[in-house]
């Protein structure tokens, strides 16, 4: 695949061949499984206190034909508080009683991680990368591609050294990303209890910038709404396909794609041993 490489001024600098990087067939099913697997690894185990609802003196004794037996009293057979006062013979401990234990509380030993074979995950990664070069998948995610000169969008390595937000904004607009930047500025108030729990607003995911190394660009693009910057060595399927939907609009630096070609990620057997860790 011949791909034009743009300069930081938005002009075509040269054309390069990145055939293997985007040659994998797009598999939405594998991509979705990989995203679920990555998200499940972030779940934190939680559980209740093992003694919750059990710290009580309530007990049950039900021997027949003895004094003070709790049988044949025309009441349900469950642990009850003994003694005098308004709590006398009040049920405790059992799940159906007030202040009783939970019947099936959450347990910390539950395994949240959803495993995925390494080869399958590598194939999902290659598939998600290929989806970034497919305009149909990019449009299906809602990205505004009007004015974008080419998909996939490849830019020279000089962008990695940009440190000022104003300069980065000018470069992105020269590549035809004005409407996409405006789309990502929109936000709406979340419905429900989330508004009280630190997630009041919902923002749109905009484009992803994949670089070979951090040289200042992480500061320049950090405050642009919806934009993420990531090194190729740290790339995940979740970044390429947020929510399990492939086709995120992605800007690749030339150096990052050259590294990707060397890794032979697109369907090559050695990609398994040289995968992203």
pLDDT for 270 beyond 80 = no
109-137 pLDDT tens trace: 999 999 999 999 999 999 999 999 999 99
Residue 277 confidence class, pLDDT cut points 50, 70, 90: very low
User: Which residues, other chains included, contact 211 with Cβ-Cβ below 8 Å and sequence gap of 6+?
Assistant: 159, 160, 217, 229, 230, 231, 232, 253, 255, 256
- What is the model's pLDDT at position 113? 94
Dist CA 141 CA 24 (whole Å): 20
Phi/psi-derived region of residue 147, left when phi > 0, alpha when psi is between -120 and 50, beta in every other case: left
pLDDT for 140 beyond 70 = yes
Distance, first Cα to last Cα, the chain: 27
Sequence spans of domains, the chain: 2-27+117-271, 44-111
What pTM does this model have?
0.82
Please compute the mean of the pLDDT values over residues 102-107 and round it to a whole number.
95
Of the chain, the percentage scoring pLDDT greater than 90 comes to 67
CB atoms within 10 A of CB 214: 13
Measured CA to CA in angstroms, residue 69 lies from 74, 80, 192 at distances of 12, 12, 52
Please compute the mean of the pLDDT values over residues 190-195 and round it to a whole number.
94
- What is the model's pLDDT at position 276? 53
CATH superfamily of 2-27+117-271: Ribosomal protein L4/L1 (3.40.1370.10)
- What is the model's pLDDT at position 266? 43
**Angle CA(111)–CA(105)–CA(114) in degrees, nearest 5?**
15
């Amino acid at each position: 695949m011949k791909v034009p490489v743009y300069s930081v001024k938005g002009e075509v600098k040269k054309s390069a061949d990145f055939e293997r990087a985007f040659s994998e067939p797009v598999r939405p099913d594998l991509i979705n499984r990989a995203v679920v697997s990555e998200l499940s690894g972030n779940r934190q185990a939680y559980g209740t206190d093992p003694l919750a609802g059990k710290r009580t003196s309530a007990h049950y004794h039900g021997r027949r034909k003895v004094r003070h037996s709790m049988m044949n009293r025309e009441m349900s057979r469950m642990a009850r508080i003994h003694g005098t006062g308004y709590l006398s013979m009040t049920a405790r401990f059992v799940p159906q009683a007030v202040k009783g234990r939970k019947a099936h509380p959450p347990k910390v030993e539950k395994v949240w991680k959803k495993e995925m074979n390494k080869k399958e995950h590598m194939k999902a990664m290659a598939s998600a990368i290929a989806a970034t070069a497919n305009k149909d998948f990019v449009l299906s995610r809602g990205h505004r591609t009007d004015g974008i000169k080419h998909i996939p969008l490849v830019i020279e390595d000089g962008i990695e050294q940009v440190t000022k937000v104003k300069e980065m904004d000018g470069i992105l607009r020269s590549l035809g990303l004005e409407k996409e930047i405006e789309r990502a500025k929109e936000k709406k108030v979340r419905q429900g209890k989330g508004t009280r729990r630190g997630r009041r607003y919902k923002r749109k995911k905009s484009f992803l910038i994949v670089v070979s190394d951090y040289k200042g660009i992480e500061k320049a693009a950090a405050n642009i709404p919806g934009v993420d910057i990531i090194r190729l060595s740290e790339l995940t399927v979740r970044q390429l396909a947020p929510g399990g939907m492939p086709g995120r609009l992605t800007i690749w630096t030339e150096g990052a794609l050259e590294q990707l070609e060397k890794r032979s990620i697109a369907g090559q057997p050695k990609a398994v041993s040289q995968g992203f860790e």
